[in-house]
Amino acid sequence: MHKLFQLTVELQKVFTDNDQESWFSVTLLLNDAGKFNVHFDYTNWHESEFGPAARIKYFEYKYINQNNETLDLDLIEKMKEFEEK
């Protein structure tokens, strides 16, 4: 896991060294069919009211498709609005 973190730091440096906008986080997704997808998130969540626990719930909502009945839909909507700013 530490090596993967180091690689993301190096990747972000490549972006900034080439005058690209710095991203907040990167998500690597591999589905059961073997399709690989990379998503760069430019939303600065540190400037929001949402802490790590809320961001984990939002990640699960977006990428894991958890049972929607257990979600705090008010929280999810607020986070969607912040992300779309």
Q: Can you give the pTM of this predicted structure? A: 0.73
**What local confidence, expressed as pLDDT, does residue 43 receive?**
94
Per-residue pLDDT reduced to its tens digit, 4-16: 889 999 999 999 9
**20/41 Cα distance (integer angstroms):** 13
Task: Provide the β-strand partners of residue 30.
Answer: 36
Q: How confident is the model at residue 66 (pLDDT cuts 50, 70, 90)?
A: low
Q: Where are the domains of the chain?
A: 1-40, 43-85
Quick one: CA dihedral 62, 82, 40, 2, positive or negative? negative
